Amino acid sequence: MAKIVAGIACSHVPAIGVAMDRGMTGTPYWEPLFKGYGPARQWLARVAPDVAIVVYNDHANALSLEIIPTFLIGVADTFPIADEGFGPRPVPPVRGHAPLAWHLAESLILDEFDMTIANEMTVDHGLTVPLSITCGQPSEWPFAVVPLCVNVVQYPPPTGARCFKLGQAIRRAVEKFDQDLRVVIYGTGGMSHQLQGERAGLINRQFDTDFLDGMTKDPLALTKITHTEYMREAGSEGVEMVMWHVMRGALNENVAEVYRHYHVPASNTAAGLMILENRSAA
Amino acid sequence: MSQPPDYESIPGTYVYDARRGREGYALNMFCMSLNKADNRKSFKEDEAAYLLRFALSAEQRRAVLQRDWLGMLKVGGNIYYTIKIAFCDGLTFQDVAGMMSGVPKETYAQMMLAGGRSPEGNRFKKSSKTGEDHG
């Protein structure tokens, strides 16, 4: 039986990928951020998952405005790296896990989550930056990936509560998969940031801290945050944090926070990283 | 829709909703075309001619040609799309964010290093009837 062992919440700021790709991680600007990634990489290497389900959003790369799926799952064997407007990132292509991805697609749809299925797609920084943050710069990624895209570009994104329930359904589906796989799930995006308009640069450390604390203390309360509250309090792009609820919903009620790192700024954004391990309900 | 959506009370913020989605579709799809290297080359060679391939309004066309980043948002631009023009120009997200907020690049960078723009006083439009900023 496959099993979800842990969840990773992680910002996916594109500039973090650029800093790694251009060898700038030791500069005074970036060093404090990257220093905090070391323990997470060590933890992940120890856990050595077979598969990661990565919940992220595409940013006008694989998907445009022609067709806007609210939830999409990638079932390919390989996902090439997208050209986001300045050439693809120099990172390895992402290896999929088609059997698990198809099983998830079927199970989720029959469990009343109407997934869009992608047989071919590229992946952008939303997916690759969290891999870079947690794996460094390997010649190939150390595990297979099931990409799960959530629309947060065209208003409205799915609600936090809906995302949490999708996470619960993912967990039910994973546990019905008949291969022994150790699975981790990433919820990416956030934390507070606003990239647009006169209010660009908004950061709300208190909101972010409360959100990080709430992931263990009262995750269901966090699912009640409305889109307007995210946008008002955590910046218009802070609404990406709905994706963290998919990750949280896929974990046990009882989780332990084993690592946290928070740093301002990464370009325009508050960068957060949190690792949650499942604990038994008893 | 009889009532304006509640997020309209947030200052300096252009939520990409149905209204902007309708207005900005062609503008944003032009931006999307810049994901292809050949298109980036054609655009750089003759911007005005390249834009004729897309059904932009006069104001959208002006905003693109003059790199009026805030202006693009006001006529339906979505930041994840309009930023592709900036990438084409060799600008970063932070460069554009500074320009949209109307301060010099260095001032914006310093604000971010000091912890970013505070939500205090920035939650509601000053003229908003929906409430005070309760900080």
* Residues A123-139: tens digit of each pLDDT: 999 999 999 999 999 99
ipTM: 0.95
Distance from B62 to chain A by nearest Cα, in Å? 18
Do B85 and B98 lie in one domain? The reply is no
Check pLDDT > 80 for residue B15.
Answer: yes
Do B59 and B106 lie in one domain? The reply is no
| Per-residue pLDDT, A282 | 46
* Residues B103-127: tens digit of each pLDDT: 999 999 999 999 999 999 999 998 7
| Per-residue pLDDT, A280 | 83
* Residues A157-189: tens digit of each pLDDT: 999 999 999 999 999 999 999 999 999 999 999
Residue B63 lies in a domain: yes
- Cα A4 to chain centroid distance, Å, stands at 15
Contact call for B21 and A154, based on CB within 8 A? yes
Do B80 and B18 lie in one domain? The reply is yes
Under a CB-based contact definition with an 8 Å cutoff, are residues A47 and A39 in contact?
Answer: no
Do B54 and B107 lie in one domain? The reply is no
Residue B65 lies in a domain: yes
pLDDT confidence band for A272 (50 / 70 / 90):
very high
* Residues A181-198: tens digit of each pLDDT: 999 999 999 999 999 999
Do B102 and B79 lie in one domain? The reply is no
- The neighbouring-strand residues paired with A55 are A148, A187
| Per-residue pLDDT, B134 | 44
Residue B125 lies in a domain: no
Do B103 and B85 lie in one domain? The reply is no
Q: Residue B38: give its domain's CATH number.
A: 1.10.700.10
Residue B109 lies in a domain: yes
State the Cα–Cα distance between residues A227 and A205, nearest whole angstrom. Answer: 18
Substitution target from B79, B107, B123 for chain A, most A beta carbons within 10 A: B79
* Residues B30-68: tens digit of each pLDDT: 999 999 999 999 999 999 999 999 999 999 999 999 999
* Catalytic residue list contains A193: yes
For B74, name the nearest residue in chain A, comparing CA atoms only. Answer: A197
> First and final CA of chain B: distance in angstroms?
30
Give mean pLDDT, residues B86-103. Answer: 95
Work out the mean pLDDT of chain A and round it to a whole number.
97
- Give the structural domain span for B113: 91-120
Do B24 and B34 lie in one domain? The reply is yes
- Give the structural domain span for A161: 3-278
Give mean pLDDT, residues A69-91. Answer: 96
CB-CB neighbours of B133 under 10 Å: 15
Do B45 and B79 lie in one domain? The reply is yes
Do B95 and B84 lie in one domain? The reply is no
pLDDT confidence band for B24 (50 / 70 / 90):
very high
B36 touches chain A (CB under 8 A): yes
pLDDT confidence band for B3 (50 / 70 / 90):
confident
What sign has the CA pseudo-torsion A22, A28, A33, A36? positive
Structural domain count, chain A: 1
B103 touches chain A (CB under 8 A): no
Q: Residue A23: give its domain's CATH number.
A: 3.40.830.10
Tell me if residue A260 falls in helix, strand or coil. Answer: strand
DSSP characters over A219-247: HHHHTT--HHHHHHHH-GGGGGGHHHHHH
Give mean pLDDT, residues B66-82. Answer: 98
Residue B6 lies in a domain: no
* Catalytic residue list contains A125: yes
Structural domain count, chain B: 2
List the structure tokens of B18.
């149905």
State the Cα–Cα distance between residues B60 and A220, nearest whole angstrom. Answer: 43
Residue B8 lies in a domain: no
A277 touches chain B (CB under 8 A): no
Residue B129 lies in a domain: no
Do B51 and B101 lie in one domain? The reply is no
Do B43 and B20 lie in one domain? The reply is yes
A98 φ/ψ sector (left φ>0, alpha ψ -120 to 50, else beta): alpha
* Residues A220-264: tens digit of each pLDDT: 999 999 999 999 999 999 999 999 999 999 999 999 999 999 999
For A206, name the nearest residue in chain B, comparing CA atoms only. Answer: B119
Distance from B114 to chain A by nearest Cα, in Å? 8
